[in-house]
Amino acid sequence: MDVQSMKLLATALVMGLGTIGPGLAIGLLAGRALEAIGRNPEATPKIQTAMILAIAFAEAIAIYALVVALIIKFV
């Protein structure tokens, strides 16, 4: 394998593995938040605020994976 194909393989692995965790985390967060809202509808604003903040933090990890993948590909 030459260097270019190794870079492409590493880029694909970083993006694939780097988005599995945040994808699962966001799905679990949304599911648990909906369960909590279903049990206690009066707490919806507090639950939504915490859920959106947690989703933003989980999504940041996927963005870090994208940055690493771009560095591998272009450097």
Number of domains into which the chain is organized: 1
pLDDT tens for the chain, residues 1 to 75: 899 999 999 999 999 999 999 999 999 999 999 999 999 999 999 999 999 999 999 999 999 999 999 999 998
Q: Give the model's pLDDT for residue 46.
A: 96
CATH number of the domain residue 49 falls in: 1.20.20.10
- Could you tell me if residue 5 is inside a domain? no
Q: Could you tell me which residues come within 8 angstroms of residue 22 by beta carbon, excluding any fewer than 6 positions away?
A: 58, 59, 61, 62
Range of the domain at 38: 10-74
Q: Would 4 be classed as within a structural domain?
A: no
Is 17 part of a structural domain of the chain? yes
* Structural domain contains residue 30: yes
